[in-house]
A and B are shown apart, each in its own frame.
Chain A
Amino acid sequence: MSDGAFFARDRSWHPPALTPPYRTSVVRSPSRAPISFPQTPSETTGPVFGHDILGPLDHDLIHNYAASGHSAIGPRIIVQGRVVDETGRGVPGALLEVWQANAGGRYRHKKEGYLAPLDPNFGGCGRCITDESGGYAFRTVQPGPYPWPNGGNDWRPAHIHFSVFGHGFAQRLITQMYFEGDPMIDLCPIVQTVPDPAGIAALTATLDMRNTVPMDSRAYRFDIVLRGRRQTLFENRKEGL
C-alpha cells in the first residue's frame, strides 16, 4: 500500500455546498471558500478497522434486527459491488456502513413522524469490510420512497445511505445509492445537487440478474470510487536533489 497524498478532490463534480432547491443547505453551507494545504499524516492516515468488530449478521439487514425465526418484510435484495480508487485499484479493508428506511419508506428514528408503520423485524443499519479485492455485499429489503418536508410534495427516491472509510481520513465519504429505473430520481432536489448527470448515474445501482439468487433475492450492483493517491518516490526529497 502506497501512502502518498490523495489526488485533489474535484469539487465541481461533487455537489456544491449551497444548493437552494435542497432548502436546508441554504443556512448550512459555508459562504467562504475552503482552504487547501499540502496533505499531512493527519489526512493521509485514517482509522483501521478489523473484522473483529463485525458480528455474523452485520451485513444482513433482513435478519440483524429480526426476532428469532423472523425476517424483515419487503422485496429481498442483495447489494454488492467493489470499492475501488480513482486508478481502478480495489480498496481492501474498507469499512462500509449502510442505513435505510424499511420497505414502506419508514425510518426507525425517534424524530421520524411518517405515518407508514415500522417493521418490527427491521432496524435499518448494516456494515461490512471489503475483501482483498475491494468486494462487498449486503442483504436487505428494498427501501420504499419517502416523503419529506422540503417543497410541498417532495419524495425521496428509494435509497440506501453509504458511509465509506478508505485508508486515509481525506477519503472519508458519505453518499447515497439509488435504484436503476426509479422515476423519482429526476425529481429529487437532493439527487439533483449532483451537478453532472454522469455523477447521478454513478450513484445509481444497476439490476444485476447474474448475481440474483433464483427464488430468493434480486441483486443490485453498486460500485464505489474513492480518491486515488500518488506514489511517494519524490515527495520528501531534500533541496538540491
Chain B
Amino acid sequence: MHRERELKESPSQTAGPYVHIGCTPNFAEITGVYPEDLGRVIAGPEAQGTRITVTGAIFDGTGTVLRDAMIEVWQADAAGRHPGHDPEADPSVTGFGRVASDGESGQWRIETVKPGSVPGPGGAQQAPHLTLWIVARGINLGLHTRMYFPDEAEANAADPVLARIEHRARVPTLIAREESPGAYRFDIHLQGAEETVFFDV
C-alpha cells in the first residue's frame, strides 16, 4: 500500500526580543528596506462595515506588561468573507494586521472593521471574532486566541468555539470591553488568575 512521506513540522522557537527587526522593521527604525510594515492596514478607508478600534496590552504572570510582543490579527470582512479565499470578499479589506506592543507602555492598537459572522463546524455560525496570534521573547510557540464582542451576547452564547470552554468562568477572558461606541479594549493575560484562554487550533 502506498504511504505518503510523513514529515514532522519544523519545531517552533521563540520570536525573541528583536522580532521587530524582521516583522515590523519600520517600527524598529530600520527604514528604507520596506516601504511600509506588513499588516499595517487591515481595512482601508473604502472598506464596508462598522469601523472599530481595539486597544490592549499583554501581561505576564506577575502582572507586568510586555513591551516586546507582536500581535497578528486575521479576520473576515464585514460580511464574514475571508480576503484571498472568497472572490466576493471586500477588496478594501486585507484581513491581516500586525502590531507591536509599544516599547515603553506596552499598549497596542489596531483599526479595522467589525468582522461578520463566519461558518463554523457542522454548519453552525460563529459569533463575530478576531483571530489573534501572539509571539514574544519567552513564548516558545506562538499563542492562538480570539477576541469576541461584548455587544454580541446572543451570538456569543451560540458560538461553537466558546462552547468548547469547559470552565465557563474563563469565557469572559475572550470578550472585549467596549469603552465607547466602536472602541474596544482587549487585555491578554499570559498566566495566572485572569489567564486568557489560548487555543490549540
Give the B-binding residues of A (Cβ under 8 A). Answer: 3, 8-11, 13-17, 19, 22, 24-32, 34-43, 45-49, 53, 55, 57-58, 64-65, 84-88, 97-99, 107-112, 123-127, 161, 163-164, 169-170, 172-176, 190-191, 193-194, 196, 198-200, 202-203, 224-227, 236
Contacts and interface: CB of A to CB of B under 8 A. Distances in A.
B138 A25 contact: yes
Contacts of B33: 55, 57-58, 64-65, 123, 125
B4 A88 contact: yes
B95 to A, nearest CB: 6
A124 to B, nearest CB: 5
Interface of B: 4-23, 25, 28-30, 32-35, 38-39, 60-62, 64, 66, 68, 72, 74-76, 82-85, 94-96, 103, 118-121, 123, 126, 129, 131, 133, 135-144, 146, 160-161, 164-165, 170, 190-192, 195-201
Contacts of B141: 11, 14-15, 17
A31 B72 contact: no
B11 A13 contact: yes
A176 B15 CA distance: 8
A contacts with B: majority SS = loop
A163 B137 contact: no
Given A110-B29, A111-B17, A30 B143 contact: yes
A98 B25 CA distance: 11
Contacts of A85: 7
A85 B12 CA distance: 15
Contacts of B96: 46-47
Across the A-B interface, the 3 shortest Cβ-Cβ residue pairs: A99-B22, A24-B138, A48-B84
B84 A42 contact: no
A108 B32 CA distance: 14
A127 B36 CA distance: 13
Nearest to B21: A99
Given A15-B11, A30-B195, A107-B21, A174 B119 contact: no
Contact of A35 (B19, B64, B131, B198): B198
Contacts of A226: 9-10
A125 B25 CA distance: 7
Nearest to A109: B18
Contacts of A46: 74, 96
Given A86-B6, A99-B21, A125-B21, A42 B131 contact: yes
B8 A202 contact: yes
B129 A193 contact: no
Contacts of B201: 36-37, 39, 43, 169-170
Contact of A37 (B25, B32, B84, B164): B164
A41 B85 contact: yes
